[in-house]
Structure 1
Amino acid sequence: MELTAAQAIWLLPPVLPICVIVAWNDMRAMKIPNWTVGALLVIFAVFGLIAFGPQIWAWRWLHVVVMLIIGMALNAGGAMGAGDAKFIMAAAPFVAFADLTNILLILAVTLLLGWAIHRIVKHSPARRLVPEWESWKTGKRYPMGFPLASALVFYLAWPFLF
């Protein structure tokens, strides 16, 4: 993993609350608020410069552009929601290109676990804690903000976990 503990210590604390809000709001309303995407970009603009230094920081903005284009194409093709595409775009500069395989593995795990947790809670008495959540009523649709935000948090926490 290319991400170091020194870099993660700068990035994880400000990113964590935004990711919690993204996951919660996407399960509650099936929407990822635009301000959370903007907040991630501002966090990267400030803390990313400190964590990575100017040269790496500047190159990481290319990740934003690439993922914006890919996300727009996937959204236009109906493969993903606009909020999910925007979140991926805003999360992209936090992830080193060398860690692409790692983040995809983390995303696969968070997607499967998130889906299982969401479905288990949906069909359990625990659902009564938040009966108004839109994601309970959307049929096969699933709030991808939950696994996407979880994947970013686990990626940034990785240097402390292993």
Structure 2
Amino acid sequence: MTPGAAVALLPFASAIGIWVAWSDMKFMKIPNKAVIALFLVWLGPGLLAVPLAGLSLEGWLWGWALAGIVLAIGFVASTLRLVGAGDAKFAAAMAPFFVAADLRLVLALYAACLLGAVVTHRLARYVGPLRAATSDWASWTNKDFPMGLALSGTLIFHLLLIIQGTF
């Protein structure tokens, strides 16, 4: 993906990513509407960005294939209770945005986002004013971690790094 395509997709992906992160922290749920919205970004603006992305129509279609593969893997992982169903669906919706990316860089970025999200989330719950303002958030007391926070960060930072020319 080129910087031009990332610029075109970033506003949509960021808005949905923030929605997913917030919802997962507040309710410990990723809304299906957010997953569908991200799929629609790849369908609409994603297709329009194909010329900017340096992808062929075949590359855009491979994004859908990658989404299907990630969804199948996520379904199995969710069935085995390794990940939440919302996390699996959101990862599948994110997958097309990574179709031409180097898997090693994507995994490194995800690891960094996961570590940053866990540390930030766990420390933030001890900040009195923040905790008071968000006292109804389920993630403060849930034993599970809101993975939507790390997944959203991975998507947003991936696009930002493409724009910067680092990825």
| Class of the TM-score when normalised by the shorter of the 2 chains | over 0.9
Q: 2:43 matched to which residue of 1?
A: 45
Query: For residues 97 and 153 of structure 2, what CA distance do their matches in structure 1 show?
Result: 14
**CA offsets, 1:21-42, max 9 Å, x none?**
0000000000000000000001
Across the aligned residues of Structure 1 and Structure 2, the Cα RMSD in angstroms comes to 1.2
Asked whether the 8 Å contact 1:10–1:50 carries over to 2, the reply is no
**Cα distance, 1:99 vs. partner?**
2.1
**Cα distance, 1:97 vs. partner?**
4.4
Aligned residue type for 2:88: A
**CA offsets, 1:137-157, max 9 Å, x none?**
113x10000000110000011
Q: 1:26 matched to which residue of 2?
A: 24
**Cα distance, 1:96 vs. partner?**
2.3
Aligned residue type for 1:12: L
Unaligned runs of 5+ in 2: 51-55
Q: 1:12 matched to which residue of 2?
A: 10
User: How many pairs are equivalent?
Assistant: 159
Query: For residues 117 and 159 of structure 1, what CA distance do their matches in structure 2 show?
Result: 24
Aligned residue type for 2:131: R
Aligned residue type for 1:124: V
Asked whether the 8 Å contact 1:12–1:156 carries over to 2, the reply is yes
Distance 1:55 1:40, change over 3 A: same
Aligned residue type for 1:155: H
Query: For residues 101 and 4 of structure 1, what CA distance do their matches in structure 2 show?
Result: 18
Give the TM-score, by structure 2 length: 0.91
Structure 1's consecutive aligned runs of 4 or more residues displaced over 4 angstroms after TM superposition are none
Residues 62-71 or 93-102, more deviating? 93-102
Unaligned runs of 5+ in 1: none
Percent identical residues: 37
Q: 1:131 matched to which residue of 2?
A: 135
Query: For residues 155 and 74 of structure 1, what CA distance do their matches in structure 2 show?
Result: 24
Q: 2:106 matched to which residue of 1?
A: 103
